[in-house]
Amino acid sequence: MARIVKKFGGTSVATMERIAHVAGRVKASVDAGDEVVVVVSAMAGTTNQLVAWTREAGALHDAREYDAVVAAGEQITAGLMAIALQNLGVEARSWLGWQLGLHTDDVHGSARILAIDTDKLDARLAQGQVAVVAGFQGLGADARITTLGRGGSDTSAVALAAALGAVRCDIFTDVDGVYTADPRMVPHARKLSQITLEEMLELASGGAKVLQTRAVAMAMRYGVKLQVLTSFEDVPGTMLIEEKGLIEEKGVIEEKGDMEQNVINGIAYSDDEAKITLVAIDDAPGVAATLFGALADAHINVDMIVQTAASAPGKTDITFSLPRSDLARGLEVIGAIGDGITYQEILTAADVCKISVVGVAMRSQPGVAKLMFETLAEKGINIEVISTSEIKISVLIGTAYKELAVRSLHTAFGLDAECGD
Ligand code: ASP
Ligand code: MG
C-alpha cells in the first residue's frame, strides 16, 4: 500500500465534468490499494475573480480579509471533490486548513507553513478514507485564515507529502510535464522525462510557471518525490529527481538521449521585471550596504545586481533588477535614504524581462555563457544585466526581444524537438 498525495490545479477542476473525471482517477488509485490525499486548487479563474473583488472593495484592504475571501475558492472545490468521490462509492471528506491544523505564520497573503498536525489525517487514511484538502490555505498564528501566495496549493501538497511521509506527490497541471521552454512560446519545446530538483528550482524562480518555487524548495529540503503530469490524458509526466539519482541512472538517460547530452535543460523567462540604475554613485565602502539594506528592510526583493566603473573618479554606476510591482516603492525607499548615499542621477526601466538558461551540466562544461551571449548578439539583442549561479545564467533584456531570445537560445542549445517529434 502506498500513500500518495495528488494535487489538482485549477484547470483540472475547472468544471463539474472535470471534477467527476478527477474523482474517477482518484478512485482507480484507491482501488489499486493506495492511501490517497487529494489537494485541490480553486476552479480555474476563481482566485483571480476573488482577488479582483477584494481590490474593488478597497484598494488598501486589510490583508486578513483578503485571505478570508481568496481562500474560499479552494473550500468550494474540496467539498465538490469529496461529493464526486462519494458518488463513486469512495469514502471521502473535505478538510480546510484550520480543520487539519495546517499552521502558518501570520504574514497574510504569503504565509509560510510552520507545522501540520497529522494525527487526524493518519487515522482517517488508515480507515481507508480519502482526504480532500483545500490547498493554498492555512491557520495563522493569529488564529485567522491565511493563504500561501499565488500558486500556493503546490506548496500545500508538498508540505502534506512531507508531513505524512507520502511515497510521492503528483502535481496535476495544465501542461503534461516540464518542458525545455514554455511550449506556448516555443513550438519546438520538448517534454523532459526527468529533471533535477535543483534545475526546477532555478527554472521556477526564473519565471517558469509550472510549479511554485517554494514547493520545489520544500521538496528538496524534505526529499519529497515529485512528479508533474496532466489529468487530461493518461501519459507519463516529468519526474523531479536528485542529481545523485540522475548520475546513478545515467545509463538509462543516455539511452533515452534526452538529458545527458544537454548542457542546458531548460529556458525560463520572467516578464515581471524592472531595472533601476544609480548613475555616478560614490564608490566607497558601505554604499551598497546602505542602498540594498534599505530595500531589504522594505521587503523589496532585489534580484540581479551589477556595479560598473564610471568615467568620473571615485564614482561608480549600480544597476539592479526588482519586481516590476515594486518599482515605485523602490524609488521611494531610495529617495528616503537621503544623505546616506549621493548619486548624480537615477534611471529606471519597466520594459525589461529576464531570460534564464539552466542546466546542472554547466558545472562541468565551459562555454555556456559564450554561446548564450553570441546567440543574443547575432540577433542584435542588447544585454542590460547579467547574473549567474553554478547552474544558471540569467540576462535582463528589453521585453520586445523576449520571444526572439527564448526561441533562438532554444535552438542554439540544441533543445528543439525534431520535426514531427
Ligand atoms: N488558487 C490559488 C491561485 O490561483 C492557489 C493555487 O491554485 O495554487 O493562486
Ligand atoms: Mg499552479
Please report which ligand is nearest the Cα atom of 153.
Answer: 1
Q: What φ, ψ does residue 83 adopt, rounded to 5°?
A: -65, -45
Q: If you measure from the C-alpha of residue 317 to the centroid of ligand 1, how many angstroms do you get, rounded to a whole number?
A: 40
How is 231-261 classified by DSSP, letter by letter? SSS----EEEE-HHHHHHTHHHHHHHTSSTT
User: Best substitution site from 8, 11, 41, 211 to test ligand 1's pocket, by max atoms within 8 Å of Cβ?
Assistant: 41
Instruction: Please name which ligand lies nearest the alpha carbon of 152.
Output: 1
- Ligand 1 site, CB within 6 A: 9-10, 41-42, 47, 73, 135-136, 150-154
- CA-nearest of 399, 363, 362, 365 to 382 is 399
DSSP H or E stretch at residue 404: helix 402-412
Chunked in runs of 10, what are the mean pLDDT values of the chain (421 residues)? 96 98 97 97 98 92 95 98 98 98 96 96 95 98 97 97 97 94 95 95 94 95 96 94 61 44 89 95 94 95 88 89 95 94 95 96 91 97 94 97 98 84 46
Closest ligand (CA of 72): 1
| Whether the predicted model's global pTM rises above the 0.85 cut | yes
Site to substitute for ligand 1 among 47, 70, 212, most atoms within 8 A of C-beta = 47
Residue 282 burial (CB count, 10 A): 15
- Residue 361 CA to ligand 2 center (angstroms) comes to 28
Name the residue with the closest Cα to ligand 1, atom 8.
151
Rounded to an integer, what distance in angstroms lies between the CA atom of residue 229 and that of residue 240?
Answer: 11
To test the pocket of ligand 1, the residue of 39, 74, 150, 160 to mutate (highest count of ligand atoms within 8 Å of its CB) is 150
> Mutual orientation of helices 46-57 and 72-87 as an angle, nearest 10°?
150
Nearest CA to ligand 1 atom 5: 151
The pLDDT assigned to 245 comes to 55
Ligand 2 centroid–CA 135 distance in Å is 11
Q: Output the pLDDT for position 312.
A: 80
Q: In the chain, what's the furthest Cα-to-Cα distance?
A: 78
Helices 402-412 & 368-378, crossing angle to 10 degrees?
Answer: 130
Q: What is the pLDDT of residue 246?
A: 52
- What domains, with CATH codes, occur in the chain? 3-174 (3.40.1160.10), 266-412 (3.30.2130.10)
